[in-house]
A and B are shown apart, each in its own frame.
Chain A
């Protein structure tokens, strides 16, 4: 294994940050699922399509948000703690550093997304049954929810890494990502749905199985989202290569 990749793997394994993010996404996803499953009127939850939509909304939003957070922190955390200096002194070929972080974040993002979607699917099903509502989500839908959610979160983690690499500061990067997912995309979808369905959050929901107001193909959505991830990380690699580090 490439030395920088081995080092990046050790970085995520030797602090509690990754475990904290996984625990955080699990807790928040369960809480949001409970609020939806018990809070929404029963007639809004009786159809299989409505049930799946709740799972997709919660699972894919939580997955991509926490994956983006982990991605951004992979770089901004190094700036914050000053470990970027030993990192770049150890590997002055900065593109290698960005590439190794990208590879590691694809994996952590995938795990975060799988955990978020899996938790929502499992807890959502249990919560609805506990409320006495029959669940009409098919097995194939669960499969698409979890795999699509995991792959989308892996790509979103790379987007987060790219944003963190360009912005460098931890709080502004995370605020920017959250504002985009929670506000800008919603406004875009409401005002310009034809454009909004190409937004990276909408693509993630398409990959998780949403069919209304989205692209027709989950594969096309995945390719487009991969394009966003590639563009963001390319910008991050370019700025990282050109900038001086204090």
Chain B
């Protein structure tokens, strides 16, 4: 991310110079005894006979970006909903900084999450959307304006969200997730609708976030993009984890992440 990128008259800002805006959580400098940003323990969600999430266990280390991959219906989004407290697990636990999500007092100060690219009231301005989100964690308007600058929406901040492109909505969602300077980012398909410049920009934001000690869990189908932006890969299918390894151990020589993905998810469906 070296050059300023012109984009529909809006410049996506240089990411590295904005690192201080993304993260500033004292929790990140906690010692080695601090709980992991995310710990998922035997997490299971059953709908009748169907196990949408089946005995899923993994833990994320601070300062890493993890790709969460799997076919449609594999259980990715259900897992994310369980760890964000939107759904109740049948059994098992998901702990964010050592606590169940619903027990966090100001979750926005620990976790930033985007599950859908269009979770906005169409008749509310982008800035007001962020103010509504910020209010729950007692975050002031200064931070709202700062984060709007980071995601290059300052010039569009007083427009209704219904006039935003999909890429702008993705950036607004990310802005909402970053508002509370969280330690953990959970993003479901954040590159959908982003153009190549936007994808590159997002990659820079996530890398800067992890370099500052933050942790990212990002689900995606864009394997080529994932291969460029993550440290570690978790592949899930039919609710079970099939692969959990550093990217460097999976994509070796001429074997690509896509080869690995298609091989491990190739069983009968």
Contacts and interface: CB of A to CB of B under 8 A. Distances in A.
B173 to A, nearest CB: 8
A3 B107 contact: no
Contacts of B115: 85, 89
Nearest to B138: A3
A161 to B, nearest CB: 17
A15 interface: yes
Contacts of A85: 86, 115-116, 119
A86 B101 contact: no
Nearest to A17: B123
Interface stretch (A6-14, A63-71, A101-109): A6-14
A76 to B, nearest CB: 13
Interface stretch (B124-132, B211-219, B260-268): B124-132
Q: Which of A4, A16, A90, A93 has the most CB of B within 10 A?
A: A90
From B101, B118, B132, residue with most partner A Cβ within 10 Å: B132
Interface in A63-122: 77, 81-83, 85-93
B131 A90 contact: no
Contacts of A86: 119, 133, 176
Interface residues of A, number: 26
Instruction: Tell me the interface secondary structure of chain A in the complex.
Output: helix
Nearest to B186: A89
Nearest to A13: B128
Contact of B85 (A4, A10, A17, A92): A92
* B interface: dominant SS: loop
A14 B108 contact: no
Contact of B120 (A3, A81, A89): A81
A15 B124 contact: yes
Given A92-B102, A244-B87, A245-B86, A81 B119 contact: yes
A7 B87 CA distance: 22
B258 interface: no
Given A82-B116, A92-B101, A245 B81 contact: yes
Interface in B119-161: 119-125, 128, 131-133, 135-138
Interface string A2-34: 011011001100111100000000000000000
B38 to A, nearest CB: 14
A89 B84 contact: yes
B88 A92 contact: no
24 contacts: A3-B137, A6-B135, A7-B135, A10-B128, A15-B123, A16-B123, A77-B121, A81-B120, A82-B116, A82-B119, A85-B115, A87-B136, A88-B86, A89-B85, A89-B107, A90-B107, A90-B108, A90-B136, A91-B136, A92-B84, A92-B101, A92-B104, A93-B102, A245-B81
Interface of A: 3-4, 6-7, 10-11, 14-17, 77, 81-83, 85-93, 244-246
In the A-B complex, list the 5 residue pairs whose CB atoms are closest, starting with the nearest: A244-B87, A82-B119, A14-B128, A7-B135, A90-B136
Interface of B: 81, 84-88, 101-102, 104, 106-108, 111, 113, 115-116, 118-125, 128, 131-133, 135-138, 176
